[in-house]
Structure 1
Amino acid sequence: MGATRGTARAVGAAAAVAVLAGCSTPPAPAPAPGPTAAVRPAKPRQAPPGGPSADGPPPAAPSASAGETCPAGGVRVRQRGGDSAMGVRILAVELVNCSAGPYELEGHPQIRLLDKKRTPIEAEVRHGSGGIAGGVPNMDGPAERLVLQPGRTASFGMLWRNLVTDPSVPAAEGWAVEVTPKPGAPTVTAELTDSVDLGNTGRLGVSAWAEDTG
């Protein structure tokens, strides 16, 4: 009888251990260490001056027409071409009516040459060939009244000799020309790809405005 009770207790204890073993779960892992300070939202990075934002797409490139904005005076000027022979130079400057209405011209433009540093060059500007060279076509034509419609062009020519007559006088070389198309009009500037190399003659002939018919 005593042995039977002892056996029963042993069986009951074993069953209890088995039940506890089946119902128990493994211990949870230790939590990760928390932050030692409050987390602040990250600020967007500042782009360097003139550069795109680091947090967004770069700005769109300017269109090709951005540099063709019509100046306040309603016209643009630019070099159109040049020629040289026997020390005589000719360079044409074109004016474009970029305004929405007609633009009137008459006579000769007022011009001033600028060197590479954009310093004005002292030069005597003469109407026509001005005795600089003879027999040059279109330089001594009559001054006429022109009315340019929007988009139309007119031009004038510059004539000079590339001579150095006095070695003690520095040679002048113009790389831009300021043009006042008519009295009272705003001045516009044309950059030159071919220089006006006056030497030290100090003389420049300018033709009257002529409308381009092409």
Structure 2
Amino acid sequence: MNLASVGTRRVASIRLFSPLILITVLVTGCTKSPAPTPAATPPAAPTSVTPACPEAGVMIESGPVEAAMGLRVTRLEMINCGNDPYQVTGYPAVRVLDAEHKPMAIDVLDGFSAITSSITGFDGAPKPVELPPGQAAAAVVVWRNTVTDASVTATTATYLEIAPADGQSPQVVAVDGGLDLGTTGRLGVSPWTLPKGPSSPR
């Protein structure tokens, strides 16, 4: 057998089949299934945060401060957020706090006759108030920003610590714009009553 002719036939065979091998590889690579694309995660729906109802079953809030000629008035609301009727009689138990939640030396008076006589609707004697679930009682806090001594720094406060009555658990509320108490050192609080709006201070 002629070895040269055998070698020639092998080379020809390799040359003949090489294009077929290349085509097979290319076709196989083109038909390979693509990797699955992960499904997009939908954005989380926005959630609203509802304040938890305190253990006492009522939530206390402070409204905007009304001002005129040095007199300041803010309305308090005590909302029955529980499932049972809530009864209260008398005045809220109030303390004045600074921006760091520290108590301040401010006299809190039951009633506000010593501060003003121009607000009506909240100046009566305390009466029992019963609140069904979802209903609210109201009270007002009154003060003046009078400065009687220019050498003394005027007092400002940020929060009120309020309990429905003496001996009950207090809640801290931020007063809109704070309390500019001047040099008076006192504020007055009305008793709880059914919702009414105080007349504009004058």
TM range, smaller chain: 0.7 to 0.9
Local SS of the residue matching 2:49 = helix
Residue 60 of structure 1, CA deviation: 5.3
CA distance in 2, matches of 1:175, 1:63: 30
CA distance in 1, matches of 2:45, 2:107: 44
CA distance in 2, matches of 1:101, 1:121: 35
CA radius of gyration, larger in: 1
Name which structure has the greater RCO, CA cutoff 8 Å, separation 6+. Answer: 2
Counterpart of 1:145 in structure 2 is 128
* Number of residue pairs matched by the alignment: 173
Runs ≥4 residues deviating over 3 A: 22-26, 59-62
Change (3 A) 1:135 1:14: closer
The answer (yes or no) to whether the contact 1:129–1:139 under 8 Å persists in 2 is no
For structure 2, the residue ranges without an aligned partner over 5 or more in a row are 19-40, 198-202
The one of 189, 192, 195 aligned to 1:209: 192
- The one-letter code sitting in structure 2 at the alignment partner of 1:78 is E
CA distance in 2, matches of 1:186, 1:147: 18
Query: Superposed, which structure 2 residues align to 1:172-191 within 5 Å?
Result: 172-191=155-174
Q: Please, what TM-score do these two structures have when normalized by structure 1?
A: 0.71
Query: Superposed, which structure 2 residues align to 1:62-211 within 5 Å?
Result: 63-66=47-50, 68-211=51-194
Q: Aligned Cα RMSD in Å?
A: 2.6
* Cα deviations by residue, 1:30-81 (Å, 9 ceiling, x for unpaired): xxxxxxxxxxxxxxxxxxxxxxxxxxx7x95873234x11122221111123
The answer (yes or no) to whether the contact 2:138–2:196 under 8 Å persists in 1 is no
CA distance in 1, matches of 2:177, 2:127: 28
The answer (yes or no) to whether the contact 1:170–1:200 under 8 Å persists in 2 is yes
Residue 168 of structure 1, CA deviation: 3.4
CA distance in 1, matches of 2:52, 2:113: 35
For structure 1, the residue ranges without an aligned partner over 5 or more in a row are 1-8, 27-56
Q: Please, what TM-score do these two structures have when normalized by structure 2?
A: 0.75
Change (3 A) 1:162 1:69: same
Local SS of the residue matching 1:154 = strand
The answer (yes or no) to whether the contact 1:81–1:93 under 8 Å persists in 2 is no
Percent identity between the two aligned chains: 33
Change (3 A) 1:184 1:167: same
- The one-letter code sitting in structure 1 at the alignment partner of 2:55 is A
- The one-letter code sitting in structure 2 at the alignment partner of 1:21 is V
